[in-house]
Amino acid sequence: MLLPQLLLAFLSLTSALALKPQKKPADAVLLSDIQTLTLYANRQTSSRRVSSIPQLNCIGGSARNLYDIDIMRCKNSGTEYDSTDVQWTCTAQLPPEFKLGGTDVICEGYESPNDPFVLKGSCGVEYRLVLTEEGEKKYGHRNDRGETGGNEPVGQIIFWLVMACKLRSHGLNKSGTDGTSLFVRHCAGSERCLGSKKWSRRT
């Protein structure tokens, strides 16, 4: 009878050890416990499993490359579905020509991408910087990549002029076999073809 009792005691002990939560290292922080983040330009995040990233990274917006944010603060605004789905509210002091667009807080999961614990100091923000109405008056209209809108680049204009001359010299504007004529569709303004060549028949 002694052996079954020892076996039962051993099984109970191993079960208790398996159920006991493992203590996380000091540099592992529960993401939902982080209340505020302060992020700086020209600084890298800490890293453990993956490469470090910039703490602040502008990835788009009409004001991209016009202004660099020095400091951004993000506040934990609570969770939605579970403890890993933290909602952040990020702010920065900006001149009147600029405002923050979308922001994404990115942190390194300690053991895996889905780990609710993250590496301390590993959080960074990807953000978009956009022009206000005052900014558009000063810098003009720019697209989401921070490129100036307006006329076609000079190189593209020259290219299409050369192509038009070649087409004319090769007789591509002559009538077709069905009595219709072929012409190059030129695009301008809001109907710009983005460099693609289109052909259509004029009736």
Q: Which residues pair with 89 in a beta bridge?
A: 75
Query: Is pLDDT above 90 for 51?
Result: yes
Domain map (residue ranges) of the chain: 25-139, 154-202
pLDDT tens per residue, range 3-32: 555 556 555 655 544 445 567 899 999 999
104: CB partners within 8 A, 6+ apart: 125, 126, 127
What pTM, to 2 d.p., does this model score? Answer: 0.62
CB atoms within 10 A of CB 121: 19
Task: Compute the radius of gyration of the chain from its Cα atoms.
Answer: 30
Nearest Cα residue to 61 out of 94, 89, 37, 107: 94
For residue 81, the model assigns a pLDDT of 79
Lowest mean pLDDT among 27-36, 56-65, 106-115, 141-150: 141-150
